[in-house]
């Protein structure tokens, strides 16, 4: 039986062409939706990883501040010399390094940490000479200046801890 020349010229029937076009559109739609979903998951994972890193940085800073607070409580109302300040110097450097980091949440607390470092420097500058050397009044005045610097440092550390706790809740 000879083929109808009109059907050969038209190619496949319109139903199969329509079905092929619909399958192509559905495949394209599923591909676009899958791609968008993958991007959303990537962004979500990236944000969670960043939040976890920031939380870890805040935890580290909070630990440094807590250690400094404990050391300062040990030195309360006692004249301190160079040897007494030895455990505070590494904490000062750790807090200084944390203030210089550029993490998102640490950026919000870096101002407080820099203030803590400044107060640390002024407190560490008040170290006393050996007892019995020099005028007793001068030693007493220096001891009072040292205690004042210690209380100022503790106040700034407390403010930084409060800011850290607030940022951790966010």
Q: Which residue has the higher pLDDT, 78 or 38?
A: 38
Give the pTM: 0.66
Distance CA 59, CA 40 (A): 28
The ranges assigned to domains in the chain are 54-169
Q: Provide the token pair at 27.
A: 């495949």
Q: What is the pLDDT of residues 106-127, one digit of tens each?
A: 777 888 989 999 999 999 988 8
What does the pLDDT read at residue 8?
43
Q: Which residue has the higher pLDDT, 169 or 88?
A: 88
Q: Provide the token pair at 45.
A: 């994972």
Q: Provide the token pair at 128.
A: 């006393």
CA 78 → CA 57, 70, 84, 144, 150, distances in Å?
A: 33, 14, 10, 10, 11
Q: Is the pLDDT of residue 23 over 90?
A: yes
The position carrying tokens 């676009």 is 32
What does the pLDDT read at residue 100?
79
Distance CA 106, CA 33 (A): 36
Q: What is the pLDDT of residues 33-73, one digit of tens each?
A: 999 999 999 999 998 887 777 777 788 888 999 999 999 88
């Amino acid at each position: 039986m000879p083929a109808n020349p009109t059907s050969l010229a038209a190619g496949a029937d319109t139903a199969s062409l329509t079905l092929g076009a619909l399958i192509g559109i559905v495949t394209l739609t599923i591909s676009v939706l899958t791609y968008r979903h993958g991007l959303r998951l990537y962004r979500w994972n990236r944000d969670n990883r960043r939040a976890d890193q920031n939380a870890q940085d805040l935890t580290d800073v909070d630990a440094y501040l807590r250690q400094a607070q404990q050391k300062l409580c040990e030195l309360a109302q006692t004249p301190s010399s160079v040897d007494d300040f030895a455990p505070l110097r590494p904490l000062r450097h750790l807090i200084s390094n944390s203030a210089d980091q550029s993490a998102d949440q640490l950026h919000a607390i870096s101002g407080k940490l820099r203030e803590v470092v400044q107060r640390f420097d002024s407190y560490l500058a008040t170290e006393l000479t050996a007892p019995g050397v020099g005028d007793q009044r001068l030693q007493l005045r220096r001891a009072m200046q040292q205690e004042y610097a210690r209380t100022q440092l503790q106040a700034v550390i407390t403010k930084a801890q409060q800011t850290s706790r607030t940022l951790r809740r966010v």
